[in-house]
Amino acid sequence: MKSASALIVGTGSALPSKVITNQDLEKIVDTSDEWITQRTGIKERRIVAPGESNSGLAVKASRLALERAQIAPEELDLIIVATLTPDYLMPSVAVLVQKELGAHKAGAFDLSATCSGFIYALTIADKFIRTDPQLKILVIGSEVLSNKVNWQDRTTCVLFGDGAGAVVVTGSKEPNRGFISGHLYADGNLWHLLTLKGCGSLYPPCGDHLPPEEYYIRMQGREVFKNAVRAMEAVALEALQTNGLTPEDVDLLVPHQANMRIIEHLRERLALPLEKVYVNLQKYGNTSAASIPIALDEAVTTGKLRPGDLVLMIAFGGGFTWASALIRW
């Protein structure tokens, strides 16, 4: 590595305490634990209770990450929150986190790249660090999808959950550790396959321009699935090939947690053993931009991720967007 790259020096995560099981969903829509488990791998998900919020979860996850990094909020230079479900359209989640933490020196902004948002944000943080390795940046993925899900639509409501994950990055002092590469992609031609149209400026909440279901997440699941498999496999291989590495070099694959069948396909294509792929979607469902930082935090706290490990993260989401990040932990 020529210039100092971003090293993750602390991780944290926060999940709401309310659990919705597949059995709970059987009482709400025409579905079954068997269908959800077989088609997705999800068994339960967490959702916010009154008083809990996207920014509240983000703050909790950030406090843990800062504590573990032994960095005070006042030392932060920048806060980036990847989210598609901010508390408000204005202000951003990032400024609410900045205020709550007392990170008075930090600039703060939200980033919208759906489920790939955390990798986009981490890649941007690495670019800042490469220009000034002293910088200390808080990168968060945080979502409250339960308020954007149509609880009468069985094709989507069984999939999503709420949660937040955060990492603190600064310039690596060791030449062989830190961010290696980020590859970011998008294809706006396919935007219509996964949408949340209502409540933006084109279709404001009080208008009656749209049918009510358009004020919730809508997805053509099978098409999204096919594109996700193809794009995630390609971006994973590209990340390795660009750096002269092979799947065998990977210590831990941390994929976006959307569907166990997608993850299993990737695992097979990369010929990785089960223990080298981090999976927690059975507990949390798809938490969009939060899924990778939550998984990273769990992998660290359970000892699955250790200094020096080669970590490959890959994500895919609405837009479409997809991305990879390769890190020597």
Whether 134 and 172 have beta carbons less than 8 Å apart is answered as: no
Enumerate the active-site residues. Answer: 115, 256, 286
Tell me the sheet residues that pair with 110.
81
**Which pair of structure tokens corresponds to residue 88?**
């408000």
Of the candidate residues 39, 63, 68, 99, the single one contacting ligand UT7 (CB under 6 A): 39
- Amino acid identity at 193: L
Q: Does 150 help bind ligand UT7 (rule: CB under 6 A)?
A: no
Verify binding: residue 225, ligand UT7, rule CB under 6 A: yes
Given the structure tokens 């969009």, which residue do they identify? 288
Indicate whether 259 belongs to the interface with ligand UT7 (CB under 6 A). yes
Q: At what angle do helices 54-69 and 93-101 cross, to 10 degrees?
A: 50
- The span from the CA of 21 to the CA of 300, in Å, is 26
Task: Decide: is 228 part of the binding site for ligand UT7 (CB under 6 A).
Answer: yes
117 binds ligand UT7 (CB under 6 A): no
- Lay out the site mask for ligand UT7 across 50-79 (x = CB under 6 A, - = otherwise): ------------------------------
The Cα–Cα gap between 327 and 6 comes to 9
If DSSP codes are grouped into helix, strand and coil, which group holds residue 83? coil
Q: How far, in Å, are 252, 264, 269 from residue 278 at the CA level? A: 7, 11, 16
282 near ligand UT7, judged by CB under 6 A: no
Q: How many residues bind ligand UT7 (CB under 6 A)?
A: 20
Out of 118, 128, 278, 316, the only residue in the binding site for ligand UT7 (CB under 6 A) is: 316
Residue range at the interface with ligand UT7 (CB under 6 A); choices 124-132, 205-213, 220-228, 239-247: 220-228
Q: Summarize as ranges the residues that interact with ligand UT7 (CB under 6 A).
A: 31, 35-36, 39-40, 115, 154-155, 158, 221-222, 224-225, 228, 258-259, 262, 286, 316-317
